[in-house]
Amino acid sequence: MKKWVSAMLFYFAFCVRIEAFKFHKTQQTERISGSAGDVLEDDPVGRLKVFVYELPSKYNKKILQKDPRCLTHMFAAEIYMHRFLLSSPVRTLNPEEADWFYTPVYTTCDLTPNGLPLPFKSPRMMRSAIQLISSNWPYWNRTEGADHFFIVPHDFGACFHYQEEKAIERGILTLLQRATLVQTFGQRNHVCLKDGSITIPPYAPPQKMQTHLIPPSTPRSIFVYFRGLFYDVGNDPEGGYYARGARASVWENFKNNPLFDISTEHPTTYYEDMQRAVFCLCPLGWAPWSPRLVEAVIFGCIPVIIADDIVLPFADAIPWEDIGVFVAEKDVPKLDTILTSIPIEEILRKQRLLANPSMKQAMLFPQPDQSRDAFHQILNGLARKLPHDTSVYLKPGNKILNWTAGPVGDLKPW
Amino acid sequence: MKQLTALQQQARRSNSFRSASLPLDTSVDGAIKSPATIFWLVLHGLCCLISLVLGFRFSRLVFFLFFSTSSPSATTNLYSALHTRLPSSITTSPPAVNGTAVAVDGGSRVVVGRHGILIRPWPHPDPAEVMKAHHIIERVQREQRIQYGVKSPRTVIAITPTYVRTFQTLHLTGVMHSLMNVPYDVVWIVVEAGGTTNETAALISKSGLKTVHIGFNARMPILWEDRHKMESQMRFHALRYVREKKLDGIVVFADESNMHSMELFDEIQNVEWIGAVPVGILPHSGGSEGVELSAVSREDTDKNENSEMPVQGPACNSSNQLVGWHTFNMLPFMKRRARYVGDRAVVLPRKLEWAGFILNSRLVWKDVEDKPAWVKDLDMVGREGEDIESPMSLLENPSVVEPLGSCGRKIMLWWLRVEARADSKFPARWIIDPPLDVTVPAKHTPWPDAPPELPTPVVKVISIPENTEKRVAKRSRKRSSRSKRKRVPKVLEEHVSTRHSGDN
C-alpha cells in the first residue's frame, strides 16, 4: 500500500522543476501536473542518524591505496558512500543516539590486473570487521546487527561470488543475516537478495557522462541501441549460459535488422549515441544488473530491461514500469514487434518522465554530493525503515547468529 | 588453496568463470583420490579427447541430453528455433508488455543453468514494423523540436527571382527541395522575369508549398551586371507584394542557385527586425580554369596573413556586437570575371548579396505602429529606378542589423552562380516530344542575340556540351577533330543525344 502511495505521489510531482546537476534547465513543462511531495525529493537530514565505526585503515584506506582503480569501477559506491557519510549532516559522533551503524569495509577492492574484483577474501574481510566491531563496541551484540547496514555492491551482493551457482550455494554471509544490505544485485526469489535490502544503481562516473552531453535538440534517429557482448567466448563459448541465452538471442534475431544498432564494438561516441537513440537495451549479463540502466536514464533513452524477476534500484521510490519497458527473456525474439507496438503516447510519456532531472539525479553518485542524489536516496531508504522494531533488541546473552556457520575457508582470519 | 585461486585468477577474463565440464562436485579443495574421483577424472579426460576431435564440448552435450538439469521451460536444444506465430501474437501488446514479466514469473524461480538461444524462424525485419518504427521516430523527433527547438516559429517567406532558361529546372528544383524540407510554414514567392510562364508554374506546383507566382515585365538581360540589378528590382517587387498582402513572417531571399542548409532556417527564427547571416561565396568558372583558380587562391591564402575568406557577412567584436562587414575580396578575380551569362569565367557577387539578409516582414508593411524608426518606407526607396544594392538601403542606420549565425562565424548558406549560355537550347519542360521543337538551321547560321565579343566558332562548338550531357561532349570533340564541317554533325549529334536522353 505504501508503495502505491509513494508511486502515485511521484506520479503527480512533475510540475516541480528541480535545480540539479547542470542539466538542461530550459526544460519546458510538459510534465504531469500536480502537487509536490514525491518520495525522491525527501530530505533525509534530520530523519535519521548514522554512526560510522572507526575501523583501522587496513579495512579501507590501505586497500584503496593499494589499488586506486577502485574509485572508478562500477563498485565504487562503497567508497564514495563512506566518504559521503563522514562529512554528512546525518552523521553523529554519539553512538547512543544513532539509528543506524555503518561499517566502512571495502570488500570489493581486491582487483585483478584486468580490473575485476575477486571476492574470495571478502567473506573473511567482512567477518573480521564484524568481529572487531562486536568486540570493541556493544552495539553489534545489542541487536546482532539488525540496526547496522553494509554496502556490498559486488555481483551477487553478500553471497560474495561472481558465479551464480556458487553464489547461491554460499548464500548470504551468516553474520549479515540480520543486517540491512545495500547492494546493486536484485532479483526476486533469489537467495542473495534479502528481504529489506536496498537496491542501488551501480556507480557510473558523473563527470565523464557530463562531458559527453549533446544538445537535447539533436534528433533521436536510432531506434534501438546496444553495445556489449552477446557471447562471452572466454567463459561460455557455446552460448546459452551467459545471460541465460538472452543476449545471444538478441544478436541472432536482430543482427540483420536496420532498426537495431547493436554490436560488440566499444566506440568513443558511446554516450553520444545513447543520446541519439529512442530505446536502449539493458539485458542481463552474468548478473541481472548493469550500468547501462544508469546510462540510459541519464541520457534519456528508454531502457528496455530484459532480465526476468530483476529488482531495480530504489524500486520503492522510482516507478520503473512507467519509465522503462520490461521484456521477458522468452519474448526476446518478438522484441521488434513489442517495441513497435507500444503506443506513441506511451513512448512520449516515458521520455518526459526520463527527462525529469530528479530521476537522473537519483541514479548518480556525484562528488561532492548534491541533494537528492543516490546517497540521499539510500539514506531515504534507511529512514523509511525506521523506527526499528523493538523485537530486534536482544536480551543480553541472547544469541541468534551462528558464528561458525559457512564454508570452512571463511572462518580463517584475515 | 592458493594454487586454486591462482588458477581461477588466470582463467577469469570476464565477470565470471566457467567451471570445468563436470557439473557435479566442483569443490576440488583437498580432493581425495577415491575411486569415484578417479573414474570421473578418466571420464573427463575421455570427454576432452572426444571434444578435441569433434571440435565442440562433447561432455556438455551428453549431460544435456541424458541428465537434463534445467527445467523444461528453459531448453530443448542448444539452438532451438522457437515456433512463434509472429503476426498473431502481436495482440498481446502494451498492457501485456509490462504484464508478461510479472505474470509468468509470479511464483517460479528463474533457473540457473544453460538455456537455449531462442531464434524465431524468420529473423529478418518485417517491413510493416519498420514503417511503424519510423513513424515512432518521426513523432519523437517532432516532439523534440517542440520541446527544445524554436518556440512559436514564424512563417518563412522565401523570395526567389527566376526566369526560363536551361538551368532553371536545376536551380529551382534545388531551392524547392530545400524549402520543402523546412519544418516551418513556408510561403514561396517566385518572381519571374518576362512574365509568368507555364513552365515555371508547372515546376513550382510540384512543391506542395504555398506558392505565389508573380510576373515581372522585363526580360532578363545577358550581362551579369544588368542581371544583378534586375534581380534586385524583382526582389523589391516581391517585397511590394508582401507589403500589399501584409504577409507575416520572416523574409528570406532564397536565390535559385544558392545552397541553403536546414540550420539556416532554424537560425533565422531568431531574427527580430533585420539580421545578417554569413554567406559563403563560391566564385564559379565553367571549366578547368576554375579549379586552377581556386587552387591558386588557396595558395595565396596560405602565403598571406590576411587570408581572403570567401565569406560575406557581419563582423563582430568580442562582445558579439556588429562592428563591420566582411565582403568578398574580388581583386584576384577581376581580370577573369564573367561579363555575360554563360561566360566561362568567374561570376562575381556584388558587395553584399541580398541572400545574406533576413527581414522581418513587418518592416515593409505600411502604417504599422511598432515599426522601428530606422526603417525607411518601402515606397520611398527604389523610386526613379535607382539601383537597390541590398536591403541595407531600407535602413537609415546600418548598425541595427543583428548578426546571426554565431555572429558571422557559422556559414549556413552558399552563394553560387552557374548558368549556361543565354541562347542555349533545351527542350521545353525537359520533355522530349517529337517532332522536336528545336530546329536548328544548317551550317554557319549566326546565332540569335549574339552578344558582343563572342568567342570564335571553334570554341563555341565545344562549349555547347555545357548544357547537354558529357557523352555528347566527348562525341562532339571526336567528331570535330575528324571532320571539317564541325557544325552540322555537331547539331545532328545534339538531336540524337537528346532523343536518347528522352528514351531513357
Q: Does residue A258 sit at the B interface (CB-CB below 8 Å)?
A: yes
Per-residue pLDDT, B91: 30
Q: Give the bridge partners for B188, in sequence order.
A: B158, B211
Residue from the list B12, B97, B110 with its beta carbon closest to the beta carbon of A308: B110
Calculate mean pLDDT across residues A282-290. Answer: 91
Percent of chain B with pLDDT over 90: 16
Chain B hits for A225, Cβ within 8 Å: none
Whether B144 and A256 lie within 8 Å, measured CB to CB: no
Per-residue pLDDT, B403: 87
Q: Does residue A404 sit at the B interface (CB-CB below 8 Å)?
A: no
Could you read off the pLDDT of A325-357 as tens digits, one per residue?
999 999 999 999 999 999 999 999 999 999 988
With residue A303 as reference, give the H or E element that holds it. strand A302-306
B67 — pLDDT class (breaks 50, 70, 90): low
Per-residue pLDDT, A206: 92
Write the ipTM: 0.83
Cell of B309: 575568406
Could you read off the pLDDT of A130-151 as tens digits, one per residue?
999 989 998 888 888 888 999 9
Residue from the list B117, B141, B143 with its beta carbon closest to the beta carbon of A240: B117
Task: Kindly report which listed range (A59-68, A174-183, B169-178, B447-456) carries the lowest average pLDDT score.
Answer: B447-456
The DSSP secondary structure of B228-270, one letter per residue, reads HHHHHHHHHHHHHHHHHHT--SEEEE--TT-EE-HHHHHHGGG
> Rounded to a whole number, what is the distance in Å from the CA of A10 to chain B's nearest CA?
19
Task: Kindly report which listed range (A157-161, B58-62, B297-301, B344-348) carries the lowest average pLDDT score.
Answer: B297-301
pTM: 0.67
Q: Is the peptide bond before B349 cis (omega within 30 degrees of 0)?
A: no
What residue of B is the nearest CA neighbor of A30?
B147
Chain B hits for A331, Cβ within 8 Å: 100
Distance CA B28, CA A22 (A): 54
pLDDT reading at B293 higher than 60: no
Chain A hits for B74, Cβ within 8 Å: 244
> Rounded to a whole number, what is the distance in Å from the CA of A397 to chain B's nearest CA?
36
Residue from the list A116, A238, A249 with its beta carbon closest to the beta carbon of B12: A116
**Ranked by mean pLDDT, which of A54-63, A272-281, B353-362 comes out on top?**
A272-281
Chain B hits for A215, Cβ within 8 Å: 148
Q: Does residue A190 sit at the B interface (CB-CB below 8 Å)?
A: yes
- Residue among A160, A164, A217 with most chain B CBs within 10 A, to mutate: A217
pLDDT reading at B17 higher than 80: no
Q: Does residue A343 sit at the B interface (CB-CB below 8 Å)?
A: yes
Per-residue pLDDT, B9: 44
Per-residue pLDDT, B172: 93
B285 — pLDDT class (breaks 50, 70, 90): low
Q: Are A363 and A201 spatial neighbours (Cβ–Cβ below 8 Å)?
A: yes
B485 vs A300, higher pLDDT: A300
The DSSP secondary structure of A342-373, one letter per residue, reads S-HHHHHHHHHHHH-HHHHHHT---SS--TTS
Could you read off the pLDDT of B137-151 as tens digits, one per residue?
999 999 998 888 878
Distance CA B376, CA B368 (A): 12
Residue from the list B78, B104, B129 with its beta carbon closest to the beta carbon of A336: B129
pLDDT reading at B77 higher than 60: no
Per-residue pLDDT, B375: 80
Residues 108-127 of B with CB under 8 A from A: 108-110, 112-120, 123-126
Could you read off the pLDDT of B204-248 as tens digits, one per residue?
898 899 999 999 988 888 888 888 888 988 998 999 999 999 999
- Going from the C-alpha of A145 to that of each of A91, A392, A414, the distances in angstroms are 18, 9, 20
| Closest CA relative to residue A95, chosen from A36, A158, A137, A151 | A137
Distance CA A269, CA A275 (A): 10
Cell of A209: 557522462
Chain B hits for A246, Cβ within 8 Å: 115
Q: Are A172 and A405 spatial neighbours (Cβ–Cβ below 8 Å)?
A: no
Mean pLDDT for chain B? Answer: 71
Q: Is the dihedral of CA B27, A107, A307, A73 positive or negative?
A: negative
Distance CA B165, CA B153 (A): 35
Percent of chain A with pLDDT over 70: 91
Residue from the list A168, A252, A331 with its beta carbon closest to the beta carbon of B123: A252
Per-residue pLDDT, B448: 58
Whether B84 and A334 lie within 8 Å, measured CB to CB: yes
| Burial (Cβ within 10 Å: 0-12, 13-18, ≥19) of residue B195 | middle
Distance CA B191, CA B406 (A): 31
Could you read off the pLDDT of A80-99 as tens digits, one per residue?
999 999 999 999 999 899 99
Q: Which residues contact B190 (CB under 8 A, 6 or more apart)?
A: B160, B162, B172, B200, B204, B211, B212, B213, B214
Task: Kindly report which listed range (A160-169, B235-244, B330-339) carries the lowest average pLDDT score.
Answer: B330-339
The tally of CA atoms less than 13 A away on the side-chain side of residue B488 is 5
Residue from the list B94, B100, B113 with its beta carbon closest to the beta carbon of A331: B100
Per-residue pLDDT, B93: 30
Whether B137 and A112 lie within 8 Å, measured CB to CB: no
> Rounded to a whole number, what is the distance in Å from the CA of A314 to chain B's nearest CA?
18
Q: Give the bridge partners for A282, in sequence order.
A: A305
Distance CA B474, CA A73 (A): 66
Residues 43-102 of A with CB under 8 A from B: none
Whether B123 and A254 lie within 8 Å, measured CB to CB: yes
Could you read off the pLDDT of A247-273 as tens digits, one per residue?
999 999 999 999 999 999 999 999 999
Per-residue pLDDT, A6: 65
- Going from the C-alpha of B146 to that of each of A27, A215, A323, B127, the distances in angstroms are 11, 14, 21, 29
What residue of B is the nearest CA neighbor of A232?
B14
Calculate mean pLDDT across residues A161-179. Answer: 88
Distance CA B268, CA B326 (A): 19
What residue of A is the nearest CA neighbor of B98?
A326
Could you read off the pLDDT of B446-485 as tens digits, one per residue?
555 555 444 444 444 444 444 444 444 444 444 444 444 4
Whether B18 and A241 lie within 8 Å, measured CB to CB: yes
Chain A hits for B84, Cβ within 8 Å: 333-334
Per-residue pLDDT, B63: 63
Q: Does residue A278 sit at the B interface (CB-CB below 8 Å)?
A: yes
Q: Are B274 and B360 spatial neighbours (Cβ–Cβ below 8 Å)?
A: yes
Task: Kindly report which listed range (B24-33, B118-127, B372-381) carries the lowest average pLDDT score.
Answer: B24-33
Calculate mean pLDDT across residues B154-172. Answer: 92
Per-residue pLDDT, A34: 27
Question: Rounded to 10 degrees, what is the CA torsion of A156, A161, A167, A173?
Answer: -80
Could you read off the pLDDT of B112-132 as tens digits, one per residue?
878 888 999 988 888 999 999
